[in-house]
Amino acid sequence: MTKLVAKLPDATDAQRVRILTAPKTSEAHAALLREIPAMTSLQVGGTGSTLQLPNVVNVAAWNVERCLFPKESAEMLRPHGPHVVLLSEMDSGMARTAQRDTTADVAEALGMHYAYGVEFYEMDLGSPAERVFCRDDFNAHGWHGNAILSSAPFEALALIRLDRTGHWFAETGAGDPKQPRIGGRMAVAGIIPSISGPMCFVSTHLESNADAAHRHLEFDRLLTEVEAFCGDMPILIGGDLNTGNHMPPDYNWQDETLFDLARHRGFGWSLTPDGITTRPSRISPHPIRERKLDWFCHRGMHGEVGVILPALAPDKSPLSDHECIFARVTADTD
């Protein structure tokens, strides 16, 4: 059961010690997640402009790469009039993003409700490229995760953990001892009222440091959990699915099996815009990093093929290493 809170409680000193000294096993990691309340809670807040979504819903999905620039990111979205925004890689209380609650900042700037969940509790300051932005030598909270913003209030919310093995913690996984953390890939699901009835929106982020089989299992778990959460109502999942990562040299997203998995379960991908969704950024200045990672997956909805919104500030400086994908969707009617 997901607990909804106005503020995520910080990890205690004793909990931090246990994270650093616990055996690097899946079992120990699962116990740590249960012990730290923020890992099983969603922070909710903000205020919206409507009581229900319109018939045609403007939806954006964006990996904002820590959200170094919350104000500018909100200003990039504003002209497109989003009713729902699905965000990933959002910091809260991290030195690299000036200890800001980036989700709350973006939601306030856009006048929206929000729900934020922790993907990772990070005890270090980040990579060398991220440390350039640090003014402090500590993280006030250490939260990094995913969020949903909505112009209408949420009817129900759920945090869905996709990683059940401690992939970034256990010795057999992808963890870095120099950057201690707990947590793993997850999703935030929200049921939001609309003129045509309740709709379920899901913000997610699949594993980058793994193969297609790993992401297949994550997405299978996500679909199962989302359907258990919202039943047969319309569903839109959006986010960074890391399709094609760890598939050199061409990083071909078409080699992923999660697309057919979703189709076999009654979901479609037709709302996703064509084209590459990555770009060089302040943190990730890779000149040849061109991949298609960001997708909409839907059931019980229709709309035109979405568009890619360049992740650029007014001065053309990059806001993220991912572009934003945007679509207008309508619930199917019988």
* Angle, CA of 147, 153 and 158, to the nearest 5°: 45
What integer pLDDT is reported at residue 245 of this predicted model?
Answer: 84
Distance CA(229)–CA(204), nearest Å, equals 15
Mapped onto helix, strand or coil, the DSSP state of residue 17 is helix
Single-letter code of the amino acid located at 284 = S
The band of 176, judged by pLDDT with boundaries at 50, 70 and 90, is confident
Contact yes or no for 177/140 (Cβ under 8 A): no
Question: Where do we find the tokens 């009817």?
Answer: 155
Phi, psi of 221 (to 5 degrees): -65, -40
The band of 74, judged by pLDDT with boundaries at 50, 70 and 90, is very high
What integer pLDDT is reported at residue 21 of this predicted model?
Answer: 95
Q: What is the pLDDT of residues 296-315, one digit of tens each?
A: 999 999 998 999 999 999 99
- Can you name the residues that pair with 5 across neighbouring β-strands? 43
What integer pLDDT is reported at residue 281 of this predicted model?
Answer: 96
Domains and CATH numbers, the chain: 14-331 (3.60.10.10)
CB contact burial 50-60 (16+ within 10 A = b; e otherwise): eebbeeebbbb
What integer pLDDT is reported at residue 171 of this predicted model?
Answer: 76
Mapped onto helix, strand or coil, the DSSP state of residue 2 is coil
What integer pLDDT is reported at residue 210 of this predicted model?
Answer: 93
- Calculate the average pLDDT of the chain: 95
DSSP strand pairing (294-299 vs 235-240): antiparallel
The DSSP H or E segment spanning 297 is strand 294-299
Question: Where do we find the tokens 């302040």?
Answer: 282
CB contact burial 227-238 (16+ within 10 A = b; e otherwise): bebbeebbbbbb
Query: 209 Cβ partners below 8 Å, 6+ apart?
Result: 167, 168, 174, 245, 246
Contact yes or no for 306/260 (Cβ under 8 A): no
Q: Between residues 300 and 174, which one has the greater pLDDT? A: 300
Single-letter code of the amino acid located at 96 = R
The band of 290, judged by pLDDT with boundaries at 50, 70 and 90, is confident
Contact yes or no for 208/245 (Cβ under 8 A): yes
Find the distance separating the first CA and the last CA of the chain, reported in whole Å: 32
| 32: Cα separation from own chain's centroid | 22
Q: What is the pLDDT of residues 6-29, one digit of tens each?
A: 999 999 999 999 999 999 999 999
Residue 201 has pLDDT above 90, yes or no: yes
What integer pLDDT is reported at residue 194 of this predicted model?
Answer: 98
Neighbour-count burial of 171, counting CB atoms closer than 10 A to its CB (0-12 exposed, 13-18 middle, 19+ buried): exposed
Q: What is the pLDDT of residues 40-61, one digit of tens each?
A: 999 999 999 999 999 999 999 9
Percent of the chain with pLDDT over 70: 99
* Token pair in block for residue 272: 């996703």
DSSP secondary structure letters along 101-162: BHHHHHHHHHT-EEEEEEEEEE-S---HHHHTT-SSSS-SS-EEEEEEEESS--SEEEEEE-
0.75 cut: is pTM over it?
Answer: yes
Residue 288 has pLDDT above 80, yes or no: no
What integer pLDDT is reported at residue 287 of this predicted model?
Answer: 74
